[in-house]
Amino acid sequence: MHTGNTGPIWFSVGEASGDLHGAELMKAIKSADPEAAFTGMGGPAMAGQGLDARFDMRLISLVGITEILGGLPRILLLLRRIRQELERVRPRAIVLVDCPEFNFRIAKIAKRLDIPVYYYISPQIWAWRSGRVHFLREHVRRVICILPFEKPFYEKFGVDVDYVGHPLMDVLPLDKLDALPVDENRIGLLPGSRKKEVDTLLPQFAEAARLLRAAHPDLRYTLVRAPGMDKERLLGHWPESIPVEIVEPDNRYEIFRSCKLIMAASGTVTLETALIGTPVMVAYQVSTLSMLVAKLLVNVDYISLPNLIMGREVYPEFIQERARGDVLAECAQAWLDDPATYDRRKRELADLRTMVGELGAANRAAAIILDDLRGLGR
Q: What is the DSSP string of 139-189?
A: H-SEEEESSTTHHHHHHHTT--EEE---THHHHS-HHHHHTSPPEEEEEEE
Structural domain contains residue 230: yes
Same domain, 107 and 183: no
Q: pLDDT-based confidence at 68, cuts 50/70/90?
A: low
Q: pLDDT of 86-106, one tens digit each?
A: 999 999 999 999 888 889 999
Same domain, 18 and 134: yes
Q: pLDDT of 228-244, one tens digit each?
A: 788 999 999 999 999 99
Structural domain contains residue 105: yes
- pLDDT value of residue 175: 94
Q: pLDDT-based confidence at 65, cuts 50/70/90?
A: very low
CA distances to 168, 230, 325, 345 from 280, rounded to whole Å, are: 18, 24, 15, 9
- pLDDT value of residue 290: 55
Same domain, 154 and 217: no
* SS3 of residue 15 by DSSP: coil
Structural domain contains residue 299: yes
Structural domain contains residue 144: yes
For residues 334 and 341, is the Cβ–Cβ distance under 8 A? yes
Q: What's the structural domain count of the chain?
A: 2
Q: pLDDT of 150-198, one tens digit each?
A: 899 899 999 999 999 999 898 899 999 999 999 999 999 999 887 888 9
Same domain, 351 and 365: no
Query: Which range (38-47, 61-70, 94-103, 320-329) has the least confidence?
Result: 61-70
- pLDDT value of residue 4: 46
Q: Look up the CATH number of the domain holding residue 136.
A: 3.40.50.2000
- pLDDT value of residue 74: 81
Q: pLDDT-based confidence at 123, cuts 50/70/90?
A: confident
Same domain, 161 and 64: yes
Structural domain contains residue 30: yes
Same domain, 125 and 265: no
Q: How far, in Å, CA of 356 to CA of 378, rounded?
A: 32
Same domain, 344 and 195: yes
Structural domain contains residue 1: no
Same domain, 53 and 161: yes
Average pLDDT over residues 252-269: 94
Q: Say if residue 288 is exposed, middle or buried (CB neighbours under 10 Å; 0-12, 13-18, 19+).
A: exposed
Same domain, 145 and 202: no
Same domain, 20 and 162: yes
Average pLDDT over residues 230-259: 93
Same domain, 120 and 182: no
Same domain, 140 and 118: yes
Structural domain contains residue 3: no
Q: pLDDT of 263-311, one tens digit each?
A: 999 877 899 999 999 999 999 876 555 555 555 555 557 778 898 888 8
Residue 60, domain extent = 9-167+360-375
Percent over 70 (pLDDT), the chain: 90
E-assigned strand segments in the chain: 9-13, 38-42, 51-56, 93-97, 117-120, 142-145, 161-163, 183-190, 220-224, 244-247, 259-265, 280-284, 317-319
Q: pLDDT-based confidence at 126, cuts 50/70/90?
A: low
Percent over 90 (pLDDT), the chain: 67
- pLDDT value of residue 288: 57
Query: Which range (69-78, 120-129, 201-210, 291-300) has the least confidence?
Result: 291-300
Structural domain contains residue 4: no
Partners of 281 in the β-ladder = 263
Q: How far, in Å, CA of 96 to CA of 353, rounded?
A: 26
